[in-house]
Each structure stands twice: as structure tokens, then as C-alpha cells.
Amino acid sequence: MRLKSLEINGFKSFAKKTFLEFSNPVVAVVGPNGSGKSNVVEAIRFVLGEQSMKSMRGKLGMDLIFKGSKNLSKGSRAVVAISFDNSDKIFKLSNESGENINLNYDNISISREVYSDGLNKYILNGSEVRLKDINALLASVNIGSSGHHIISQGEADRILNASPKDRREMVEDALGLKIYQYKIKEAERKLERTNNNMKEISLLRRENAPHLNFLKKQVEKLEKAKEMKTNLLSFYREYFKKESVYLDQEKNKLSDEKNKIIAEIKDISKKISEKGGDDVVRNNPKVDELKNLESRISHIRSTKGEIERKLGRIEGMIEMEERRTQRPERTENVSIPREELESFLKESHEYLEEAIYMDVLENIAPILEKVRDILNRFSRHFAEEPNFSDGTQLGELKNTQREVMEEMQKIQEEEKKIVELVEKLKEEISHEIEAEREMEREKFTLRVQNQELNSSLNLILMKEENLSREAEALENEIKEGGALIGPEILSYKNFEAEGDFNRNSQEELRRKIERIKIKLEDAGAGGGADVLKEFEEVVERDKFLEKEMGDLVQSIESLQKLIAELREKINNEFQEGVTKINKEFHEFFSLMFGGGTGSLAIISEQKKKKDEEEDGIEYEEGSKPEQGIEINVSLPQKKVKELHALSGGERSLTSIALLFAMSQVNPPPFLVLDETDAALDESNSRKYGDMLEKLSKRSQLIVVTHNRETMSRAGVLYGVTIGADGASKLLSVKFEEATAIAN
């Protein structure tokens, strides 16, 4: 037993919860017309996922909900639940990846709910799932919402009226090949999605190709730049190493020279310092003494001049006095000696000259008094001459003259002594000056040497400054090289330079470096890391897309192979199934008709197409022929072989025999027969009943019938009636219990 129960609540005429239990191989559902017994069959279709509202005699989802009556209100939803025994774990379900989902349940419960707004819910063992999952689950046990296991009233003849292609689909469904069709459709959908993905990836790669080519060219430039950088680093190492060695050597050389010159300058400065000061004459005490003596001589000579003038005046006065004493009488004319006149003029002139050059007024007054005295003496010649009686005045003048001359002699002697001292000092000073000049010449020579050394020192300092600038320029070049090459630029320190240092070779290296730097600038070496990163990302993405493309190609091949394998499997199993069906069909056909034969034949027909212009039917050129099923029958004691020539009863028996044969080859868990025996007479009803008993050994049977013979073959009888409230009600009777009660 596979089907356990069916629960209906609010579905069509079943307003209240109604429970049907299927504990017997054959369960019959009976009742008057319009009672709702066919609604039981539609409830089974509904819960198994039927999507055709026409099959359930409705137009909208709300048509399946109880519409209400005078005594009952309208329902808001319809719920149908069906339960299966899964103790042998026959039910299977897989995910999108094809992996089986664990259905370790002894009972499988499927329910479907529909609401007034048309919303549907599918619930599997309490969890909401998709319709797709329900279909896949039921297909694993060879059942579905419709097909060979649910045969409703008026549909028994459908297989006879169907086209060969539709018959093939019915047979495939009966053989349990529908699961493979699902897999083929799913594989075809995946194949379509994969092809679309391939187109998208191909488009992405085409869009990516120009940028990738551009970046590739940029990377090639960067590779060339990298090669140039390698060469540049080689040149840099040699250049920087030789330049740094040269600068160190020059620095040490200049430092040695500078230290040597500084030592010589210190030595010469010491010698100059030992030679004494520069102003030796001014600091010599003899010079000061000489100046004092010269000052005394000047003073003595000034005094001597005063005495000489005084003596001259006295001599003039004596001479005048002598003349006067010798003059007998006074005359109008005054005779003045020439010498006296010259003395007067000379003395006056000297005093006046002295007054002229005097800067201070107080010093001029005494000189003017002296000039006045001279004028007074000179004016005596014009005054009245006294009468000398004796020579007293003349004697006084001569005494004065003698005193003045003595004084003059003393002054001359003092002057002579001082002059001798001056000459002596001058001679001594002259000797000292000569020695000093010799020393000065030596000091001058030392100063010249010192100047030359200072000039050499300044030159060295200039060289050091230039060397410092060169070292700074080298540091800047190293930094610039580091910006182009990176930290590896410092590896020049460990570089072993070969050959002697040569400035010309350095210049040649420098020119090579500059040429490579210009080429690097032209190559656009800047931003290389970003370009490389972007190129790697784009290449990685292209490789990923290429891998994806390869995976998709492999997936397409795998899907195509799977589809081919499934189709081959369907064809093989289909042919084997048709052979088995023919065997069963022959037996059932013979049982129903008391002889004769019935069989299925596989035929191929070309696909047709409609000509829109001529509104006719044409075959598609180059189309692959499609396989179909043709039914061949041969009635006993009749020559009728064509299906369209059979009577209504014969067609009904033929279709029943074929459906029963199909169900025997791949028995579904249950069969639903909705008044398929309505057209049978009493004799054929018994044959129909025999077939039911045969079928019940392999499948559960739910039979909706009015036929007494059919009812007699059921173990449980469910009666459906319409109550006073307008809703369907269910009554059940078990024949075994009824028989026991009757006996």
C-alpha cells in the first residue's frame, strides 16, 4: 500500500474538512449525480500540482474554493493534503546540482493551498516548496497531476483520439520516462542559459580585447623600459662607484693639502709674531728723546733769534747813540744808517709774518707790542736829540750788548751740545731703523709667503666647496636614479669598479645615462606599477573568462551528451516498454473482447508546418522525422482494424484495455478511474471487474462509479451526498464488516 490518505477542506463542494483513508486495494467512491464525487478526483489532481483549470472544471483559482450556501459562509481558501507511505524510501528529490536531498521520512505529506486572490502554496512535510519540486518528487514514483494513472469521465477515449505524437507522450508517461523528459528539459534550459552565458562571455572578451591589446603594448613598452633600466642600473653602478671613489680621493687629498698649508701658515704667523710689531720707530724711546731734543733746539733757536734781534736793536741803538754824540748841531734832515733801516724793516717784517700766521688772537697781542717797541725806537731818530754831556747812555747800551752777547754764547754752546746729541741719536736711530728695515724685509717676505699660503688655502677651500657641490649633485643623481630604478640603485656601493678612474670615461658614462633616461621618458616609464597591475588584472579576468568559456564549452558538451544519453535511454526504454505494453495489451484486449489482438506500433512521420499564404499543410524540408504511436486492433470474428470504424463500446473497451496494459508495465502507486465503466453493459462490466482485481494486485485503485459490478469488487465504499447545508458529505462502508454484520 502506497497511498495512505486524502484530506479535503474548503475545496469545491467540500466545505468542511473531509478525510478519506485508503487502507484497501480497491476503494470505490459512489453517489448520485451532482453530489461531488468527481470532486474527490479533482482534489487529487489539484494536490498533485495540476495547473489546467479546465481539467478541474474551473476558470480561476477562486473557482476551486467553496462558494458558500444558505447555511454556510463562503470559504477563504481551499486546502487538499495527500499522504504516502515512504517506509522503503522510494521517494527521491534532487537540488539544482543534481544532488539528492535527504527525504528520510516514513511518511510523505503533500498539501496545496489556494487563496481567493489566486495565490498557491505547496507544502512538503511542513516546509513550503516549489511546484517544480513537487513534480520532481512525484515523477520519481511515476505519478503526476494528470496522465495514465488518473482517468476521468469522458477521457478514457482520449488515447484513441490522440495523435501519434501525443500517444507517444502518454506511453512515455506511463513507462515512467517523464522524469527523463524533465531532466532533458532542465538540461535544455541549462544548455540555453549556458549558450547565453557563452555569448555574454564572448562579448565581454571581445570588448576586453582592445583594452587588453593596448595594455599589452604598454607592458611591452614597460618591458623595454625594464631592460633599459637594467642597462641604466649597470651604468649607474659603475658611474656612481667611480664618482664616489673619485670624490673621496679628492676630498682626502684636499684635506691633506689643507692641513699642511694650515700648519705652514701657523708657523709663519708665529715667526711674524716673533719679529715684533710693525711701528718700531714710534715705540722706540730714543725717537721720543730725539723729538724732545729737536723741540729744545727749536726753542733755543727761537730764543737765539730773539737774542739776535735784541742784539741787533742794541747795536742799532749804540750806533745811533754814537752818531748823535758826534753830530754838532741839529738839522732838518735825519740821517739813518742803512743797516739800521734794514734791521728795522727785517725785524718788523718777521714779527708781522709771525702775527699773520698766528691762529689765536691772544698770541698776536704780544707780537704787536714788540712791533710798537720797534716803531718807538725807530721814531727816536726824528725826536729832538738831547744834549749829551757824557757817554753814560752809550756805556749802558754797550754793557747791555755785552750781556746779550754772553747770553748768546751760552745759548750757542747749549745748541751745539744738543745738536751733537741729536746727531748721535739720529745715528743710533738710523742703525736701529736699518736693522728694523731688515726685519721688515724678512717680515714682508714672511707675509708674502703667508699671503701665498692663504691664497692656496682659499683655492683649496674653493675646491672643497666645488667638491661639496659635486658630492651634492651626486646625491641628487642617486636620488633621481632611485626614482627611476628603485632601492637597487644603492647597490653601487658594493660594485667593484675595474680600471683607473678617468674623467673622460665618466663623461662618456654620463652621456650614456642621459641617453637612456631620455629614452625612458619617451617610453613613458611612469606609472608602470599601475599599468602592470591593471594588465595583470585584465589578463587574469581574460583568463578567468577563457576558463569560464572552457567550462561552458565543457558544460555544453556535457549537457549535449546528457541530453543524447537521456534521449537514447528514453528511446531504448520506450521501445522495450512498447514491447511489454503490447504483451499486456494483447492479454487485456483478448480478455475484454474474448479474443482478437491489439498492439502498438512505433511510426515515424515528418514534421509539418503551416503555409500561411495558402492555409495548407506542408512538410518541413530537412526536418528530422518524429516518432509516434499507432494503435492496431483486430476484433474476433470481424474484419474491422481501423479505430474510427469501432463502435462506442468497442472504443471504450479498447481504450480501457490499453490504459490497463500501460499501467501494468510500470505500475503507479495508485490508479484513479472516474466512471470509466459508464458505457459498459453487464457482461463487459464483469470483465471490467476482473481486470480491476488483476490491477489491484500491483496498484491501489480509487474507482468513481455507478456500476454495481464495479462496486462489488471494492473493499471500501465511500458514499458522497449533498447535505441540507449544500456541502458534500462522506459516508464510508467496509464490505468485509458489512458482510460480517449481514451474516
Backbone angles phi, psi at 364, to 5 degrees: -80, -35
Q: What is the mean pLDDT of residues 576-589?
A: 87
If you average pLDDT over residues 216-229, what whole number do you get? Answer: 77
Residue 80 is predicted with a pLDDT of 94
Residue 338 CA to residue 349 CA, distance in Å, equals 16
The 3-state DSSP class for residue 290 equals: helix
Q: 189 — phi, psi (to 5°)?
A: -65, -45
The Cα diameter of the chain in Å comes to: 237
d(CA 645, CA 632): 12
pLDDT above 50 (res 340): yes
pLDDT in tens, 621-649: 555 667 788 888 888 877 666 777 777 77
Q: What is the CA radius of gyration of the chain?
A: 76
**What's the pLDDT tens digit per position in 55-95?**
777 777 787 888 888 788 888 889 999 999 888 888 888 77
**Grid cell of 136 as nine digits:** 520532481
For residue 551, what are the CA distances in angstroms to 184, 206, 530?
A: 20, 18, 31
User: How far is Cα 592 from Cα 688, in angstroms, rounded to an integer?
Assistant: 8
Q: What is the pLDDT of residue 332?
A: 56
Grade residue 109 by pLDDT with cuts at 50, 70 and 90. very high
CA 407 to chain CA mean position, Å: 122
CA atoms of 246 and 503, how far apart (whole Å): 9
Residue 214 has pLDDT above 80, yes or no: yes
Cell of 30: 459512489
CB 314 within 8 A of CB 400: yes
Beta bridge partners of 632: 599
Give the span between the Cα atoms of 24 and 235, in whole angstroms: 101
Please report the pLDDT score of residue 93 as a whole number: 81
Q: Cα torsion for 577, 578, 582, 583, to the nearest 10°?
A: -20
Identify the band that residue 614 occupies on the pLDDT scale cut at 50, 70 and 90: very low
Q: What number is the average pLDDT over the span 4-21? A: 90
Q: Are 348 and 316 in contact (CB under 8 A)?
A: no
Q: CA-to-CA distance for 17 and 80, rounded, in angstroms?
A: 9
The pLDDT tens digits for 357-402 are: 666 566 666 777 777 777 777 666 555 444 444 567 777 777 887 8
Q: Return the number of other C-beta atoms located less than 10 Å from residue 370's C-beta.
A: 18
Edge-to-edge strand list for the sheet holding 77-85: 18-21, 3-9, 77-85, 107-115, 120-124, 127-129
Residue type (1 letter), 738 = A
Residue 7 near residue 80 (C-beta atoms within 8 A): yes
Task: Give yes or no for residue 578 having a pLDDT over 80.
Answer: yes
pLDDT at 17 over 80: yes
State pLDDT tens for residues 139-175. 777 775 455 678 776 666 777 888 888 888 888 877 7
Would you call 498 helix, strand, or coil by DSSP?
A: coil
DSSP state of 2: -
What is the sign, positive or negative, of the torsion defined by CA atoms of 193, 196, 198, 200?
negative
Burial 504-541 (b: 16+ CB within 10 A, else e): eeeeebeebbeebbeebeebebeebeebbeebeebbee
- pLDDT recorded at residue 550: 87
Cβ neighbourhood burial of 73 (10 Å; 0-12, 13-18, 19+): exposed
Residue type, 590: S
Mean pLDDT of 516-522: 76
Q: Please provide the average confidence, as pLDDT, over all residues in the chain.
A: 78
User: Strand pairing of 716-722 and 728-734?
Assistant: antiparallel
Give the Cα separation of 356 and 562 in Å (integer).
148
Give kind and range of the element (H or E) at residue 590: helix 528-593
Cα distances (Å, whole numbers) of residue 264 to 214, 372, 453, 692, 724: 71, 74, 8, 140, 143
CB 565 within 8 A of CB 590: no
- Tell me the per-residue pLDDT of 559-572, one tens digit each, with 9 for 90 and over: 888 889 888 888 88
The whole-number pLDDT of residue 6 equals: 92
**What order of strands is seen across the sheet that includes strand 728-734?**
150-151, 670-674, 700-704, 26-30, 716-722, 728-734
Is the pLDDT assigned to residue 582 strictly greater than 50?
yes
Q: 634 φ, ψ to 5°?
A: -140, 110
Question: Quick one: average pLDDT of 711-719?
Answer: 89
Q: Does the global pTM surpass 0.75?
A: no
More confident residue, 278 or 516: 516
Specify the pairing of strand 150-151 against strand 670-674: parallel
Position 123 scores a pLDDT of 93
C-alpha cell of residue 703: 474507482
Q: Read off the pLDDT band of 620 (50, 70, 90).
A: low
CA angle in degrees (0–180, nearest 5) for 246-249-254: 120
Q: Which residue has the cell 733757536?
A: 301
The whole-angstrom separation of Cα 213 and Cα 169 is: 54
Q: What is the pLDDT of residues 279-289, one digit of tens each?
A: 555 566 777 77
Give the confidence band of 524 by pLDDT, cuts at 50, 70, 90.
Answer: low
Contact present, 205 and 538 (Cβ < 8 Å) = no
Residue with cell 496545496: 112
In the block, residue with C-alpha cell 462522506: 730
For 254, the grid coordinates are: 684636499
Q: Locate 525 and state its grid cell.
A: 616609464
Instruction: Return the higher-pLDDT residue of 536 and 341.
Output: 536
Quote the pLDDT of residue 389: 43
pLDDT of 613 > 50? The answer is no
Can you tell me the distance from the alpha carbon of 3 to that of 50, in angstroms, rounded to the nearest whole number? 18
pLDDT value at residue 282: 55
Q: 670-702 b/e with 16+ CB inside 10 Å = b? A: bbbbbbbbeebeeebbebbbebbeebbeebbbb
CA dist 136 and 108 (Å) reads 14
Q: Please, are residues 608 and 618 in contact by the beta-carbon 8 Å criterion? A: yes
- Check residues 303 and 47 and name the one with the higher pLDDT: 47
One-letter identity of residue 257: E
φ/ψ of residue 287, rounded to 5: -65, -40
Of 238-242, 637-641, 692-696, the one with minimum mean pLDDT is 637-641
